[in-house]
Structure formats: C-alpha cells, structure tokens
Amino acid sequence: MSITGNYDTDNIFAKIVRGDMPCVKVYEDEHTLAFMDVFPQSRGHMLVIHKREQARNLLDVSTDGLAQIMNSVQKLARAAEQALKPDGIIITQFNGAPAGQTVFHLHFHIIPKYEGDLKPHASGGMADMDALAATADLIKTEL
C-alpha cells in the first residue's frame, strides 16, 4: 500500500481499538493504546497507537494526535527500561509498504534491545500468549 491513500476502518489495529480483536494490553489512556506485538522482535516489543485518529501513517496524523502518541511512547519506553533492563531501546515507525509498513494504522514500535538478541522487522514467529501476558504485567508494574 502506498504512502498516500484512504484509511481502512477494518484494519487490524482499528479492530483492536473497537474490541473486535483481542490484544495483550499494556496501557490505555483517553487517547492512546499500547499492546504487545504478537510477532515480537525481542522480549517486551510493544506497539503504541492512537484510538481515534484515522491516520495510516505519520504524514496523516494531527500534531495533537502525534503528541499524544509520543507522550505514551515515552511513558512505555521508560516502563520497559525499568521492568526489563534492556541494553537499549529502539523506537521505529514505518510509512508505506515500500518502507516496511504492514498494518496501515499509524503505530510506533518500542523494541527493547538486548545484547546479541534482535530479530529483523516482520520476521518473527507468533509469541506464546502466556509469556506475552507475563511480560506485559511486568511492564505494567512500572507505569
């Protein structure tokens, strides 16, 4: 899908926001939702999205909406650092399929980086749901 185009209200993350699809939730506020990536690149890989902005990517979102997302990104990154003690934290965001985007509802990846342990983007297998929930619970204790 191109970098320009219409927002599809039936994309996976819109369904998660509506409650039509499950997620392992880590954090939610008035504007944003954070949940575990089910194909994690590392332990603690999370996604942060806006709940109302119909933005496919960074180019579409309002500045207020972007600020609300980034506020949550920082909050979750700090909690992941405290809970999981990674060696570093990678924040990524892709715009358009040629750039690597696969879900067309704006989202930021928070990817804890541990020495010698990081799968490439969109390469991992599906996570064990109990392990994901346990990691989410650890991060929640630092929020």
Q: Is 37 a binder of ligand AMP (CB under 6 A)?
A: yes
Nearest approach in angstroms of CB 31 to ligand AMP is: 19
Q: Is 28 a binder of ligand AMP (CB under 6 A)?
A: no
Please enumerate in sequence order all residues whose Cβ is within 8 A of that of 116, keeping only pairs 6 or more positions apart, or say none. none
Residue 68 or 101 having the CB closest to ligand AMP = 101
Report the alpha-carbon distance of residue 131 to residue 16 in Å, rounded: 20
Q: Is 42 a binder of ligand AMP (CB under 6 A)?
A: no
Report the alpha-carbon distance of residue 14 to residue 114 in Å, rounded: 31
Q: Are 49 and 93 in contact (CB under 8 A)?
A: no
| Span of 1-9, 54-62, 70-78, 95-103 interacting with ligand AMP by CB under 6 A | 95-103
Report the alpha-carbon distance of residue 45 to residue 125 in Å, rounded: 13
In the residue annotation, 107 being an active-site residue is answered as yes
Q: Is 38 a binder of ligand AMP (CB under 6 A)?
A: yes
**Positions 48 through 87 that interact with ligand AMP (CB under 6 A):** none
Report the alpha-carbon distance of residue 59 to residue 32 in Å, rounded: 18
Nearest approach in angstroms of CB 13 to ligand AMP is: 8
The angle formed by the CA atoms of residues 54, 56 and 62, to the nearest 5 degrees, is 55
Active site residues: 107
Binding site for ligand AMP (CB under 6 A): 12, 21, 23, 37-39, 47, 94, 100-103, 122
